Structure 1
């Protein structure tokens, strides 16, 4: 049984070699779709013998469905350029591969390294995501920029042992920039789908996030890092509704 790994990249020079090398035991091909990186990402990818393609970035879901279509084999593993397989997870994938991938979809548990610390609580861990599947039985969807894989109705994905290592932000400033960017994208997506602004959502959504993630899911156990994460998560929710309100005011 053959396995394709698909990756989208943009300026992932600090991470992409680690990502590719973690796949060497499990993948029969690695396909990278790059959004015309301006750093050394293309040179690093080509030096490691992967299949390297480039396409202008439209949105997250479009890019991931495009690279999915480039995969040669039916079974695909999807990673981002800042992710890598732990040894335990690579072993779990190899075991399923030796069995011929008896399940149609698999859940991988993502563990994030944030500003120098592994985050093990809150909404960030456990963080199960479908990242291995039969490409005829699932597709990328969701609401930009938050994409996800949707298996065909009736398919129950199997959880694999081991962690998908996610190397996120090195600094608080990087995280703050992404929060503002994602809030803009989400607001634009909502606006395009005619979602109406509601003041109650702008106020209650951040509060709900705080209670669920920081209190019930024990985000506070990650110390100051946990506080930074929930504070910026609340900010993103507030900003996206504020921006949606601004877009709708401009329209009228």
Structure 2
């Protein structure tokens, strides 16, 4: 087995957890799951497959994942981040076995490609593949950045490299579940966009950089996106994804994906931002009170990273 352990966050993932864990077992049996009190068979299934499971109250993804980094019982050289609805391709499992433990000390992290499946079809176009994500890093040299949404692993030492093969994001829940989940995400995305202007927190984040890593480039483009006019930007984004980046090549599923992910979702974010402006204007303190009252979110709750990396 390779000198790597995997951290997974779960809540009611019985549809996915077996597939995820089976894809990990070819290269590690050291799997640590932080569960936010699932009410289905997630914990039972994970434990039956040899995973170590603890339960912790959910605050947000970054807080929960950093709890996992701090409390993992495995003293492996490398850590890996996985979501329960993802799985590792056999080619990547083999690559991890072959390459990971022989990497030079100067390598601090490893990027892998993610394939996204939607309505059982691989979204190969529209700029959604390859998506490079830093998923492996040396224990003690990385943490999950403290943002409300679209969190990335930030390494503190060494340089990252890229592996050749893929993980797959293939959620098996229905479209009603997907839209309800993304409706919730619109609240978190609102906070992120407002945070560019109001700086509600001073947590350490991935720095925006057009010609940096993928997450630095995404952060740079998101800041530019945030400066565009409401409602114009989701329409432009849909045109970019569906026509310029040829999302139409993914057929009917590609149209639904681009429409929902690039237009509907971001249009709903803008509509909710307009609602905030109508109700409380642009006063920073009133916005903070509004999110606390309406959504139960303390916009100042995220603090600089304090998780022990030992």
Q: 1:116 to 1:213 in 2, by over 3 A?
A: same
Q: Deviations over 1:50-102 (max 9, x none)?
A: 11011111111111111122233241011000111110000111112341565
Q: 1:59 to 1:201 in 2, by over 3 A?
A: farther
SS of the aligned residue for 1:143 comes to coil
Conserved 8 A contact 1:75-1:133: yes
Conserved 8 A contact 1:186-1:240: yes
Q: How does 1:176-191 map to 2 (within 5 A)?
A: 176-191=179-194
> 1:64 & 1:24 partners in 2: Cα distance?
21
> 2:198 & 2:165 partners in 1: Cα distance?
39
In structure 2, runs of 5+ residues without a counterpart are: 200-225, 282-310
Identify the match of residue 228 of structure 1 among 236, 246, 256: 256
Which protein has the bigger strand share? 1
Query: How many equivalent pairs are there?
Result: 250
Root-mean-square deviation (CA, aligned residues, Å) is: 2.4
Q: Determine if the alignment matches structure 1 residue 77 to structure 2 residue 60.
A: no
Deviating more after overlay: 114-123 vs 218-227: 114-123
Identify the match of residue 176 of structure 2 among 173, 176, 192: 173
Identify the match of residue 127 of structure 1 among 128, 131, 140: 131
Conserved 8 A contact 2:29-2:50: no
> 2:126 & 2:140 partners in 1: Cα distance?
33
> 1:111 & 1:77 partners in 2: Cα distance?
17
> 2:277 & 2:118 partners in 1: Cα distance?
35
Quote the residue 2:97 is aligned against.
94
Quote the residue 2:60 is aligned against.
59
Conserved 8 A contact 1:75-1:134: yes
Quote the residue 1:215 is aligned against.
243
Conserved 8 A contact 1:116-1:170: no
Q: Deviations over 1:78-133 (max 9, x none)?
A: 10001111100001111123415652111111112211212211232111100011
Moved over 6 A (4+): none
Identify the match of residue 147 of structure 1 among 132, 151, 157: 151
Conserved 8 A contact 2:247-2:255: yes
Q: 1:86 to 1:200 in 2, by over 3 A?
A: closer
Cα drift, residue 246 of structure 1: 2.0
> 1:48 & 1:178 partners in 2: Cα distance?
28
Q: Determine if the alignment matches structure 1 residue 245 to structure 2 residue 248.
A: no
Cα drift, residue 212 of structure 1: 2.8
Q: 1:127 to 1:200 in 2, by over 3 A?
A: closer
Quote the residue 1:23 is aligned against.
24
> 2:274 & 2:95 partners in 1: Cα distance?
46
**TM-score scaled to structure 2, two decimals?**
0.73
Cα drift, residue 169 of structure 1: 4.9
Identify the match of residue 114 of structure 1 among 107, 115, 118: 118
> 2:116 & 2:182 partners in 1: Cα distance?
16
Cα drift, residue 41 of structure 1: 0.3
